[in-house]
Amino acid sequence: MNRKSPFSYTCNACGRCCHDKVITLSPYDVFRLARAAGITTREAVDRCTIRRGSILKFNDGGACAALEGPRCGVHRGRPLACRLYPLGIEHDEDERFVTLEPAAGSLGVYGIDGDVNDFVEAQGVGSYLEANARYASLIAVFRQRIAATADFDRVEPREFWRRAVREALAESVYDANPLIDAMFDAGGIGCTAIGDAETIAAHLERLAEMIRCESNAELLAAAAVMLAVSIGQVPAPAHTDAEI
Please compute, for residue 192, the number of CA atoms within 13 A of its CA located in the half-sphere on the CB side: 0
Residue 225, pLDDT > 80, answer: yes
pLDDT of 235 reads 56
Pairwise CA distance, residues 65 & 74, whole Å: 10
Peptide bond into 237 cis (omega under 30): no
Kindly provide the residue ranges of all beta strands, DSSP E only, lying in the chain, ordered along the sequence.
6-10, 49-50, 55-56, 67-68, 71-72, 87-90, 96-99, 109-115
How does pLDDT run across 158-170, given as a tens digit for each residue?
A: 999 999 999 999 9
Q: Residue 214: which pLDDT band, with cuts at 50, 70 and 90?
A: very high
Q: Which amino acid is at 126?
A: G
Pairwise CA distance, residues 107 & 27, whole Å: 31
How does pLDDT run across 91-146, given as a tens digit for each residue?
A: 767 889 999 988 888 899 999 999 999 999 999 999 999 999 999 999 999 999 99
Lowest-pLDDT choice from 63-77, 84-98, 191-205, 212-226:
191-205
Residue 1, pLDDT > 70, answer: yes
Residue 243, pLDDT > 60, answer: no
- Average confidence score pLDDT of the chain: 88
Pairwise CA distance, residues 60 & 80, whole Å: 23
Is the distance from CB of 3 to CB of 120 less than 8 angstroms? yes
Residue 220, pLDDT > 60, answer: yes
Residue 173, pLDDT > 90, answer: no
pLDDT of 33 reads 92
How does pLDDT run across 36-85, given as a tens digit for each residue?
A: 988 889 999 999 999 899 999 999 889 999 888 888 999 999 999 999 99
Pairwise CA distance, residues 200 & 32, whole Å: 11
pTM summary value: 0.89
Q: Residue 13: which pLDDT band, with cuts at 50, 70 and 90?
A: confident
Is the distance from CB of 105 to CB of 115 less than 8 angstroms? no
pLDDT of 9 reads 94
**Which residues, other chains included, contact 139 with Cβ-Cβ below 8 Å and sequence gap of 6+?**
224, 227, 228, 233, 235, 236
